[in-house]
Amino acid sequence: MGSVTTTIPVTDQREAVGHAVRAAYLYSAVADVAALTGDEKLLLAIDSIWQNVVTKKIYVQGGLGAIPSGERFGENYELPNATAYNETCAAIAGVYWNYRMFLLHGDSKYIDVLEKQLYNGLISGVGLDGKSFFYTNAMQIKNNFHHHSMEPERSGWFDCSCCPTNISRMIPSIPGYVYAQTKNAVYVNLFVSGKATLQVHGKPVSIIQENNYPWDGGLSFTVTPQKNDDFSLLVRIPGWARNEAIPSNLYTFTGSQQGKVTITINGQPVSYITEKGYAVIKRTWKKGDVLKVDLPMDVRRVVANEKVKDDIGKVALQRGPLIYCAEWADNNGRAANILMPSDAVFEARFQPDLLNGVEVLQSEVPVISIDEKAQTVNTSRKTVTAIPYYAWANRGKGEMMVWFPEKFKDVDINP
């Protein structure tokens, strides 16, 4: 409907178009072939297409493919909230693609986007029960608006059931995304507790990660080479810990970051250089060396580029890699009536019994109510609770918002 099909050789493509899932699979393959062949035309094409997506065509929770008709990418900056499509498979394809872009360039910005997708718009595709799934991942649900492709709750199965099977294949592959290697360097890309054994210079090196990520920014790595060995450990310092909401100007944090990144080895501060978003720690590693990295977990306000019409005057909330939303279940049955003024102060609190254990954000902010009898619109201050976006729609159907108007004048009376 309305879209024109043209055929352009992949080497001439500069913009992400068409069916988002199939496109991102194609881009994954292009990145692989470009890495293996060094073909400059493919490199230019895939770098341009990635730049186009990250500067103009990705939702704040990492979702790809804004438009329901054709399950496709929208025009530049066309990221509507009311009708967002965001197929689960597209977020999965985005992880495949960004991982290959990392392998191609060794830059952490690709893992920043991968992490954004993985922790937000990808795992939102599966319910906390592990057996209910979203095909599309909404950006907002309002009581007074319905759309044919909008899913306010997850389903057990679909007629076209790509997403459940794709999730089932994706989740077990996550360990493969945690580390990467070159001859003299080990990359730590994701922060997941566990033990891994890698071969460095032909000898085993074990790395034990212990953390409570993404709730806590304290990361511990115990490194044990079979024999003392010289190599570099490259630890990704996430963009969000460096005051960067996404590696482009599509989304930015407002206000300043209070916390800062600290790194120690065996309790001593360590000097390091930063290269392509990685803290490069080059040393002779000895059995039982303990590297500790502390990432600041400030609650951040995210604003979109002013060219994204739907997000003008609105703010989203992020803590660590997680994008938050407000859901009806925590907020007196509504979410579309919440304002988030620029001076709102947030308290982050871990709630072990809520949604399998989540850090919630709470703030006292103005909430709108309509008195239909008196025909008046009122605001009153209420404590509002936000939960991680991935955990929404696990307690029944109702309103959900990711972007909140800062001022009353920016409230959409219509969707």
Q: Which residues are catalytic?
A: 71, 162
- In this structure, what token pair is assigned to residue 226? 């079979």
From the CB of 132, what's the least distance to Zn ion, in Å? Answer: 14
Please tell me the distance from the alpha carbon of residue 100 to that of residue 319, in angstroms, as a whole number. 26
Choices 156-164, 184-192, 389-397, 406-414 (CB under 5 A): range interacting with Zn ion? 156-164
- Residue number, 64 or 400, with CB nearest to Zn ion: 64
d(CA 164, CA 125): 8
Residue 25 beta carbon to Zn ion: minimum distance, rounded to whole angstroms: 11
CA distance 140 to 156: 21
Which residue of 93, 163, 299, 303 would you call a contact of Zn ion, by CB under 5 A? 163
Task: Give min distance, CB of 158 to Zn ion, in A.
Answer: 8
Note whether 19 binds Zn ion by CB under 5 A.
no
Q: Please tell me whether residue 95 binds Zn ion under the rule CB under 5 A.
A: no
Site track for Zn ion across 53-92, x = CB under 5 A: ----------------------------------x-x---
The only residue of 33, 150, 162, 185 in contact with Zn ion, by rule CB under 5 A = 162
Q: How many residues belong to the site for Zn ion (CB under 5 A)? A: 4
Give the shortest CB-88-to-Zn ion separation in angstroms.
5
Give the nearest distance from C-beta 189 to Zn ion in angstroms.
Answer: 25
Instruction: Mark 296-325 with x for binding to Zn ion (rule: CB under 5 A) and - for no binding.
Output: ------------------------------
Sites of contact with Zn ion (CB under 5 A)? 87, 89, 162-163
